[in-house]
Amino acid sequence: MHGPPLAGWLLVALCAATGSYCLLRMRGEPPGRVRRAAGAEALMGWGMAVMAVPAAALDPRPWGPPLLAAVFAVAAVRALLPAWHRGGRALGHHLHHAVGALAMVYMALAMAVGTPARGHGHAGHAAQGRVPGGVPALTAVLLVYFAVYVVWSATRLAPAGAGSGSGGLAWSRRPELADACRLSMGIGMLAMLLTL
């Protein structure tokens, strides 16, 4: 990720924590739709953590962005397959996972296409020393999508915080924690898209 290193490391920590929680949630679920969704969210959280590592901390490896793009392209297809098999029923959540995975493909390809500008500078000005690799119109559409998703997720989380009927559930299966993770990942996507 390009931008201030501190922001990058904070985003790495947030996304890694979110991905770890989703893995724990996945382990606590029986095989089925909820477990697959938690697995997809864990992949997204950990993939975002890897992609958010500040550029100054990485040894330039040309295979990194294409590998991330390939992993998330497969994740996008995998997100849409269950809805396809059901004739489009229950498309909403699957579509969101696919949009998130395709946004990750887009950002990985933008990282690969964006090239360092010639000149001298320090890590704090990494964003200024780089030619953007993203398409501004597509970036804007994704920013709007994830901004709306973040607001929607926050509204879903607000009533749950007042203490509803999930008191008997194990902490790893509490719905408000899952909603908080989705909100965190949406905020992370916004932050990453802003650095393109």
Contact 147, 190 (CB under 8 A): yes
Cα–Cα separations (whole angstroms), residue 34 to 37, 57, 73: 5, 36, 21
pLDDT digits (tens, 9 = 90+) for 34-81: 788 888 889 899 999 988 888 766 656 667 788 889 999 999 998 888
Per-residue pLDDT, 79: 85
Is 45 strand, coil or helix? helix
- The pLDDT score that the predictor gives to residue 121 is 39
Which structural domain range is residue 159 located in?
5-194
CA–CA gap between residue 42 and residue 19 (Å, rounded): 4
pTM surpassing 0.85? no
Tokens representing 156 are: 């879903």
Q: What pLDDT digit, counting tens, does each position of 151-166 carry?
A: 998 888 775 444 455 5
Provide φ and ψ at 130, rounded to 5°: -135, 140
- Report which residue type is found at 167: G
DSSP summary character for residue 8:
H
User: What would you measure as the largest C-alpha separation in the chain, in angstroms?
Assistant: 59
Mean pLDDT of the chain: 78
Q: What is the structure's pLDDT at 181? A: 85
**Count: domains in the chain:** 1
**CA 22 distance to own-chain centroid:** 12
**How many residues can be counted in the chain?**
196
